Amino acid sequence: MTLIESPIETVRVGVVVDDNLHVWIADTQTPKNRKNWDLKLGTLKGLIPGRIIPGHYLGDVKFDHSALGFTRQYVTRFEGSTATPDTAEEPLGVVTEFYPDFPITAGLGRSAKVIMGEASWP
pLDDT tens digits, one per residue of 85-102: 889 998 999 999 999 999
The answer to whether residue 96 sits within a structural domain is yes
The answer to whether residue 100 sits within a structural domain is yes
First to last CA, the chain: 49
The answer to whether residue 50 sits within a structural domain is yes
User: Between vectors from CA 114 to CA 108 and to CA 117, what angle results, nearest 5°?
Assistant: 140
The answer to whether residue 2 sits within a structural domain is no
On the question of pLDDT at 1 being above 90, the answer is no
For residues 29 and 121, give the distance between their C-alpha atoms in angstroms, rounded to a whole number. Answer: 8
Residue 56 identity (one-letter amino acid): H
pTM for the structure as a whole: 0.89
How confident is the model at residue 48, as a pLDDT?
85
Q: How many domains does the chain have?
A: 1
Q: Which domain holds residue 104?
A: 10-115
